[in-house]
Amino acid sequence: MIEVGIPTEATVAQVLVSKYADHLPLYRQAQIYARQGVHLDRGTLGKHTATCDQQDTFAFRRWVYRQGNLA
């Protein structure tokens, strides 16, 4: 296992789906990963979640502006 690295898109997607669709808090996800031998800090999960949220928000805003659907 790589001690320090950049998560794959699949890993980040799994965390986001678990958080928002399955309503699984980050601390519980960290516990689940730890049982599987993958030690992830909640802060790291939160940082990646926040980064994706910001990028998705900007992408969504650009899409809305291009569509002309201003609220």
More confidently predicted of 6 and 28: 28
Residue 2: pLDDT band by 50, 70, 90 thresholds? very low
Residue 25 lies in a domain: yes
Instruction: Give the number of other Cβ atoms within 10 Å of residue 15's Cβ.
Output: 23
Q: What pLDDT is attached to residue 1? A: 36
Question: What's the domain range around 48?
Answer: 9-67
Residue 4 lies in a domain: no
Residue with tokens 């998560």: 7
More confidently predicted of 51 and 60: 51
Residue 58: pLDDT band by 50, 70, 90 thresholds? confident
Say how many domains are in the chain.
1
Question: Minimal CA–CA distance to 47: which of 15, 3, 1?
Answer: 15
Q: What pLDDT is attached to residue 71? A: 53
Is the distance from CB of 28 to CB of 40 less than 8 angstroms? no
Residue 66: pLDDT band by 50, 70, 90 thresholds? confident
Residue 61 lies in a domain: yes
Is the distance from CB of 20 to CB of 29 less than 8 angstroms? no
Which pTM value belongs to this model?
A: 0.69
| 60, two tokens | 């969504």
